[in-house]
Amino acid sequence: MIPIDNFLVLSAILFSLGMYGVLARRNAVLILMSVELMLQAVAINFVAFAVYLYPETFTGVIFAIFVIVIAAAEVGLALAIILRLFRNRQITNVDEADLLKW
């Protein structure tokens, strides 16, 4: 059996990539994709622990499905926001979308 460490390392790498993307990118779509990466990293962790620690229950797997569903919903919402932003101000750069302040 593949040791759990491999999955955890994979998950950590994906999460870090995603986090780098969120912090470093300025394009809204790319940030959204990076967030997806982070979510998937979490999902991998869920599945891995579920299989290795409690093989007889499905709790972890179900959570992974939840994550996917929520990620889908979130992308739907976020893309809609980004589209409106682009329609109204012709930008996708989040630095320029800074109206959300005092």
Partner 1 sequence: MDQAWLIPAIPAAAFVILLIFGPYLPRKGDWLAIAAIGASFILVFPLLADLLDQADGATYVAGERAWEWLSFDLSGVGETFEIEIGFYVDPITIVMLAVVTLVALMVQVYSIAYMKGDSRYGWYFTAMSLFAASMLTLVLANNLLLLYAGWEAVGFCSFLLIGFWWEKRSAAEAAKKAFITTRIGDVGLLIGIIMLWLEGPNTFNIQEIIAFAQEGGYDSTYLTAAVLFMFMGALGKSGQFPLHVWLPDAMEGPTPVSALIHAATMVVAGVYLVARMLPLFEVADPIALDVVLVVGLTTVMISATMGLAATDIKRVIAYSTLNSLGLMFVALGSSAVTAAMLYLFVHGFFKALLFLGAGSVIHATEEQDMNRLGGLAKKMPVTAAMFAIGTLAMIGIIPLSGFWAKDEVLVFANEEQPLIVYLVLLSSLVITGLYMTRLFVRTFLFAPRDQGVYDHAHESGLLITVPLLILGLLATVAGFVVFDEVGEALGFPGGIAQFVFLREAHEFEFHLDTAITSTVLAGGGAVAGWILWQNKAELAASVRDRFAPIATLLANRYYIDEVYQFAIDHIVLGAGTVVAWFDRVVVNDGGVGGSAKIGYLAGFEAKFLQSGRLPNYALAIVSGILLLSIVMLVALV
Instruction: Choose between 1 and 100: whose C-beta lies nearer to partner 1.
Output: 100
Which residue type sits at 80?
A
Q: How far is the CB of 86 from partner 1 (least distance, A)?
A: 15
Instruction: Choose between 53 and 81: whose C-beta lies nearer to partner 1.
Output: 81
Q: How far is the CB of 58 from partner 1 (least distance, A)?
A: 29
Instruction: Choose between 1 and 101: whose C-beta lies nearer to partner 1.
Output: 101
Query: What gap in Å lies between CA 70 and CA 73, rounded to an integer?
Result: 5
Instruction: Choose between 24 and 73: whose C-beta lies nearer to partner 1.
Output: 24
Q: How far is the CB of 95 from partner 1 (least distance, A)?
A: 6
Site of interaction with partner 1 (CB under 8 A) = 19, 22-24, 26, 31, 94-95, 97-102
Which residue type sits at 31?
I
How buried is residue 97: exposed, middle or buried, by Cβ count under 10 Å (0-12/13-18/19+)? middle
CA-based nearest residue to 25, from 80, 102, 82: 82
Spell out the residues 6+ positions from residue 10 whose beta carbon is closer than 8 angstroms to its own: 44
